[in-house]
Amino acid sequence: MTARLAAVAAAHAHILARRRSAVALLALLPLAIYGALYRHSPHAVIVGGVASAFSAGGAAIFSMLPARAADQRLALAGYRPAVLITGRLIVLEAGSIVISLITASVMIAGTGPAHPADVFAGVILTGIAAVPLGLALGALLPRELEAVLVLIGIVGIQITADPDTVISALLPFHAASQLLDAADGAPATFWPRLALTVAYSAALLAIAWAAWRHRAGVRRSPTTITPAPRSHQARERD
C-alpha cells in the first residue's frame, strides 16, 4: 500500500514537473495581484490571499486531467481509486503549503498586518481547500480550459462578494477570507474555520473520487467462454 502510494505520488510530481512553466506562473499570480493592490487598497492581503487558490487549484487541475489514461492502466494493474486520489493529494497539498508560506511571507513583509499569524493561517487554509476543488473540477469537466474558467469564476466571486452574504458563506474559501480579513482587526478564532475548511475539503474530495470513478474508472466486462469445437473422432463416437 505504502509503495503504491509513493509510486502514484512520484508519478504526479513528474506530471507537474513537466508543466513547470504553467505551475510557476500560477504560483506567481497571487503575488502579482497583491503587488498591484498593496499600496492602493486596504484589501490587498485578502485579495492576494484568496487569489492563492489559483496556484493550488490550478496545479490540481493540471495533475488530474492529463493522467486519465494512466489512471485506467493503474486501475487495471490493481491500484485502488483511493490510492490514486491520495497520491495526488499528498503532492499537491505539500506544494500548496510551500507556496502558501512564501505568499504569506511576502504579503506580511509588504503590508505589516497587526496579526500576521492570521495571514499565514488564511493563505494555508485557502490552499487546503483549493486542492480538492481543483481535483473535483478536473474530474468533472472534460478539458483544462473549462476547469480553469470555473476556478477563476469561483475565486472571483469569493473575492468580490460581501463576506456577510450567503453566497460568500457557501463558497470554499469563506473561512480563509475571514482569517485574512481579521489580520488588521480583531483576531479571528482559528479552529472553527479550520474545521469548516476541512469539512468542505472532504466533501470536494468525495465529489472528485465519485467523478473519477465515473469518468476514468475501468469497467471490466464479463468474459464469455466459447466451448472448443469437438473433434471429428468425437463426433464419430457419438
Mean pLDDT by 10 residues, the chain (238 residues): 82 83 91 92 93 94 77 77 85 94 96 93 97 93 91 95 89 94 85 95 93 64 45 53
Per-residue confidence (pLDDT) for residue 9, from 0 to 100: 86
Per-residue confidence (pLDDT) for residue 96, from 0 to 100: 95
Q: What whole-number distance in Å separates Cα of residue 58 and Cα of residue 130?
A: 8
Per-residue confidence (pLDDT) for residue 186, from 0 to 100: 77
Per-residue confidence (pLDDT) for residue 229, from 0 to 100: 54
Per-residue 3-state assignment (H helix, E strand, C coil) for the chain: CHHHHHHHHHHHHHHHHHCHHHHHHHHHHHHHHHHHHCCCCCCHHHHHHHHCHHHHHHHHHHHHHHHHHHHHHHHHCCCCHHHHHHHHHHHHHHHHHHHHHHHHHHHHHHHCCCCHHHHHHHHHHHHHHHHHHHHHHHHHCCCHHHHHHHHHHHHHHHHHCCCCCHHHHHCCCHHHHHHHHHHHCCCCCHHHHHHHHHHHHHHHHHHHHHHHHHHCCCCCCCCCCCCCCCCHHHHHHC
Place of cell 480583531: 186
With contact defined as beta carbons under 8 Å apart, do 131 and 89 qualify? yes
Per-residue confidence (pLDDT) for residue 224, from 0 to 100: 40
The alpha carbon of 176 is separated from its chain's Cα centroid by a whole number of angstroms, namely: 15
Per-residue confidence (pLDDT) for residue 220, from 0 to 100: 44
Per-residue confidence (pLDDT) for residue 5, from 0 to 100: 86
Q: What angle do CA 102, 105, 106 make, to 5 degrees?
A: 90
Condensed to tens digits (0 to 9), the pLDDT of residues 73-121 reads 777 777 887 788 888 899 999 999 999 999 999 999 999 999 999 999 9
Per-residue confidence (pLDDT) for residue 33, from 0 to 100: 95
Query: 190 exposed, middle or buried (CB, 10 Å; 0-12, 13-18, 19+)?
Result: middle
Per-residue confidence (pLDDT) for residue 39, from 0 to 100: 86
